[in-house]
Amino acid sequence: MDSISCKAYGKINLSLDVVGKRADGYHLVRMVMQQVGICDSIEIRKTEGTDISVSTKSGEIPTGPDNLVFRAADVMRKTFGITDGLSIHLVKRIPVAAGMAGGSSDAAAVFRGIRDLYGLPADNRRLEELALPLGADIPYCIAGGTQLSEGIGEILTVLPPSPSCTLLVVKPDLYIATPAVYKAFDHIPEREVIHPDVDAQVDAIRKGDLFGVAKTCGNVLEQQTGADHPVIGQLERFFLSHGALQSIMTGSGPTVFAIYDDHAKAEQAMEELKRVESFASFQKFVTGFVPGMDA
């Protein structure tokens, strides 16, 4: 086999709590991560020579050594003594800088893809260990699905699949730098922080209770990001007034998602959203939860 194709799925945070900060500046989190059906496509091909090359028609991401896809391929080559060159082509669909772990998911797909292309003796746990130095979200993206993430994101507990639903996902025309979001969060007095009940959400997932999952959604980072960018709240209020069970920001933003238990109602809400002039240029998706990957 000289090439392999794989998918890289985006994620949302059904809940995201910050519970502390390490001496090295990394924030300690507790969050429920959920893979969704918005995905990038990646083709990995063996080539002559020893170079790694990354190509994409997206004009929003680098293709050199700074790209996580490039760095993931480099780690795999060095760890397993791969001497072939590798050509990696990436088709982007996950919005960039959206709080959906697009770059992390692409890197995770490369870790899995190179393993499978060469039949390497590395299960998902081994890949997670190799991926962590590149980014705290990448270990989760190796297997995806529904997981409780703790520590700086490296302590993972696989959960049962979340109950099925329809999701509307919207990425406003904003770029929000993750480090700036966490820095702003650090200035909120602890007594004012509204922490989500992550344990209650995990319990609802285990029970297959969609209404319980929706009720316990929450994101501490939205307190500051939502205040700085009112369009986040505007989108959430739109969805809640159009039949959503819940609507919150994912990750460090600015993407907003809405949970629907009625697909027809979700489709209708999306059609209404498309007619709102101030939201016209936003990236919009109708999708759902995606189960995790084995191995």
List active site positions. Answer: 11, 137
Q: Is the dihedral of CA 281, 179, 230, 272 positive or negative?
A: positive
Q: Is the dihedral of CA 57, 59, 65, 71 positive or negative?
A: negative
Q: In the chain, what's the furthest Cα-to-Cα distance? A: 59
Q: How big is the chain, counted in residues?
A: 295
- Calpha distance 9→29 (Å, rounded): 22
- Calpha distance 126→112 (Å, rounded): 11
Q: Which amino acid is at 25?
A: G
Nearest to 126 by CA among 165, 85, 80: 80
The token duo for 139 is: 């270990």
* DSSP β-ladder status, 155-158 and 146-151: antiparallel
